[in-house]
Structure 1
């Protein structure tokens, strides 16, 4: 870093960072318990020193994985920008990911509240435009506001955390009911 400006990463460093993020994403967004940092390094094909050079601790890695997932959502929102009817399937995918990514969600709870809030606000902000376009086209009830998405996330989170064992059927039903609540009022 020279005079407060970070130099661009070398190509191999960029490749290593992406490999680490992909390996960590695979492990943190699966249904299994979270693997340790050595397993993430092994799956990424890098040494532990390389992993720790990019991410000094599990919290830095968790934050980067969440940011990576938010970037994926942003790409999905951009790809569906002109399709107001895509809002419901997009929100369905977000809610199902929230359930499938239990290890990541559990790690995210350990981040500072300000960091947690920042990511949640980013997700809501990303979905606000598609929500508005879906409302304008009559695909979603008009009385919803973007903050109501936080309520949906909380409802699904409550069901996912409240169920013992494989809560797949119950959370799928909760998501279906929540999404039905978005339908335009008669």
Structure 2
């Protein structure tokens, strides 16, 4: 869903209670952009301004920073699932969507490596659930005989994702995408265009 976001500094218009779903989507999109640019410690007021809503609207949808970060991660996984469920979905296309999310979000990379050490059992369970959903989506697109789908090596798929996510470093999205694609290439895996899912 594409939202028109308000430039920083302008007072947002009140769109009323009927705009709740649109407000929530705008907040998630804005949070992804702000967290990508400034990290997870960015002021929540910047997210509200970027989404074109008041800070009260943000807190009605997301009571704290963890809630909005979780919503961004959930949306990332949902897009990967949608890409995998699309008619004629191919692994290379879905890997392009996954790679786009890796280049956008350090938190998403952390999710795929989550072991529960940094947030207790509920965070570990949330991360494990989302990571398993990513794995199911990718597995659903694997063709017989694909190098990442060998039954005798069931961990290869997510191990490859972890290896690529470890390579996703750099000051710009372009540099992170370049490094991610180089890592996939070194693993001998073809990846489609690095972009969000637009279904």
Query: What is the Cα deviation at residue 104 of structure 1?
Result: 4.9
1:40 counterpart = 2:52: no
- CA displacement, residues 5-43 of structure 1 (integer Å, 9 cap, x when unaligned): xxxxx5322222122112112323x3x223321000001
Q: Which residue number in structure 1 is paired with residue 158 of structure 2?
A: 150
Runs in 1 of length 4+ with deviation above 6 angstroms? Answer: none
1:54 counterpart = 2:61: yes
Among candidates 116, 119, 126, match of residue 137 of structure 2: 126
Q: Which residue number in structure 2 is paired with residue 159 of structure 1?
A: 167
Contact 2:48 2:55 in 1 (8 A): yes
Gaps of 5+ in 2: 1-16, 191-199
Q: Give the direction of change, closer, same or farther, for the CA distance of 1:58–1:165 in structure 2 (3 Å limit).
A: same
Distance in 2 separating the partners of 1:65 and 1:74 = 14
Contact 2:109 2:165 in 1 (8 A): no
TM-score when scaled to structure 2? 0.67
Query: What is the Cα deviation at residue 103 of structure 1?
Result: 5.3
TM-score when scaled to structure 1? 0.71
Q: Give the direction of change, closer, same or farther, for the CA distance of 1:63–1:103 in structure 2 (3 Å limit).
A: closer
Distance in 1 separating the partners of 2:186 and 2:46 = 38
1:173 counterpart = 2:177: no
User: Larger helix proportion, structure 1 or 2?
Assistant: 1
Q: 2:24 is paired with a residue of what secondary structure?
A: helix
Gaps of 5+ in 1: 1-9
Q: Once superposed, what is the RMSD of the aligned Cα atoms? A: 2.8
Larger Rg: 1
Among candidates 67, 72, 96, match of residue 74 of structure 2: 67
Q: How many residues align?
A: 160
